[in-house]
Amino acid sequence: MSVGPEQAGRASPGTRISAARRMGAVADVRLSGAIDDFFLADDVRLDERTRLTLGRFLAAVVQEIETEIRRHAARLLSGQGADRLAEGLLRGHEDVVRRLSRAGLLRDRLLMDEVIAQVRCGLIGDALAPVVIAPEQPSLLIRLADVDDGVVAAAARALLSAEARRRTAAEQGRIPSGALPAERHHQLVWWVAASIREGQVASVGEDPIVDRAIVEAAQRSLSAHDEGQRPEALAVRLAAAIDARTDEIAELLIDSLGDRRLLVFIAVLGRAVDLDFEGARAIVLEPEGDRLWLVLRAAGLDRATIATIALALADADPRRDIEAFADDLDEIAAIPFAAARSALAPLTLHHDLRLAIDALAREATR
């Protein structure tokens, strides 16, 4: 008996039942997510702007890597005469971000810590109020790019160039290559490569030729990655080149905020108190500011300078309570320099050791 087109397109009762059961599981997951979201404390909830920016950033980073891997793998396949496989690889743009998210990979603490920190730095840096000390005076980085010290000038020019690349990429809705540190880039490349391979296996089955092409394309992406050209790394290089004396730190920090160069502010402050960039950035981004005020005192800054920095950051970050800070300012300024340095000592430990200590502490509280 022939089957009409309207019958051929119908799902069987068993398929319908399976689909209904799957939707029941989806509804359960959705409810769990809604409950978790409802009971989140306000101080840990992402505001809508940060959430949207974070989503765009993650998608752009993943898609940049995905595009690189697909294009190079397809080029390799075409060179071997496997044009059909190459075309399939280029056409097969699954939603890799959603696939990695479903697998829970994008919940990785170290990856999300870096991505959220970059997003927050960008938003706060953009919101900083520019300060023009003298109309005829160029901005901080322009001045540093023209100093007689060739090391400082070269570092300033490199940072200017890197920031321009990042800004241009953001305006075009993409992420420049090298946005992530090497370790985070490494794990994301292999996650994306695995997701691409999964899609290929689902569509054409396993094929060693395709696997080799994907692996070579992923390794190419890894070898091309240069984390030394990230603005964060270049800001650290600039701070090291300047090597500010104790009596120069306050002016340099205020100038960097007035020039809306939050990365320079973080790098200079970190160097002043022997904190690595990631540790200093985490402290600067905390809305409460308790650890930041301790760091500022450890850098030898006086009451007026701390107040200026606090006001600039509060104007750019609505999460900060400037009134509470004003009430505590006298107590903050009274913290002895030596006491602040001593209290800061655990934060100056090696970055990887701090991560391990934090991981042990989280496990102990479960």
The span from the CA of 280 to the CA of 276, in Å, is 6
Q: How far from each other are the two terminal CA atoms of the chain, in whole angstroms?
A: 64
pLDDT of residue 126: 92
The chain-wide mean pLDDT, for the chain, equals 88
Could you report the per-residue pLDDT of 160-201, keeping only the tens digit for each? 999 998 888 877 877 776 789 999 999 999 999 999 999 988
Give the pLDDT band of residue 336 (cuts 50, 70, 90).
very high
pLDDT of residue 352: 86
pLDDT of residue 138: 79
pLDDT of residue 3: 45
Overall average pLDDT of the 150-165 stretch: 95
**Strand segments (E) across 53-165:** none
pLDDT of residue 10: 62
The span from the CA of 290 to the CA of 310, in Å, is 11
Overall average pLDDT of the 96-105 stretch: 91
Is it the case that residue 223 has pLDDT exceeding 80? Answer: yes
Overall average pLDDT of the 92-106 stretch: 86
pLDDT of residue 131: 73
Q: Which helix (H) or strand (E) holds 311?
A: helix 303-316
pLDDT of residue 301: 96
Is it the case that residue 35 has pLDDT exceeding 90? Answer: no
Say if residues 241 and 152 touch (Cβ distance below 8 Å). Answer: yes
Overall average pLDDT of the 350-364 stretch: 82
Q: Nearest Cα to 203, choosing from 91, 101, 79, 99?
A: 91
Residue 226 or residue 124, greater confidence: 124
Overall average pLDDT of the 261-280 stretch: 96
Could you report the per-residue pLDDT of 58-96, keeping only the tens digit for each? 999 999 999 999 999 999 999 998 899 999 888 866 789
Give the pLDDT band of residue 362 (cuts 50, 70, 90).
confident
Is it the case that residue 4 has pLDDT exceeding 70? Answer: no
Give the pLDDT band of residue 265 (cuts 50, 70, 90).
very high
Burial track 124-146 (b if 16+ CB lie within 10 A, e otherwise): bbeebeeeeeeeeeebbbeebbe
From the CB of residue 154, how many other CB atoms can be counted at a distance below 10 Å?
14
Is it the case that residue 11 has pLDDT exceeding 70? Answer: no
The span from the CA of 107 to the CA of 101, in Å, is 7
The span from the CA of 292 to the CA of 282, in Å, is 9
The span from the CA of 358 to the CA of 248, in Å, is 34
User: What does R_g of the chain's alpha carbons equal in angstroms?
Assistant: 25
Is it the case that residue 9 has pLDDT exceeding 90? Answer: no
Give the pLDDT band of residue 347 (cuts 50, 70, 90).
confident
Could you report the per-residue pLDDT of 13-33, keeping only the tens digit for each? 777 677 766 776 777 777 777
Is it the case that residue 224 has pLDDT exceeding 50? Answer: yes
Least trusted range by pLDDT, from 236-245, 253-262, 339-348: 339-348
pLDDT of residue 44: 80
Least trusted range by pLDDT, from 241-250, 266-275, 295-304, 347-356: 347-356
Overall average pLDDT of the 200-205 stretch: 86
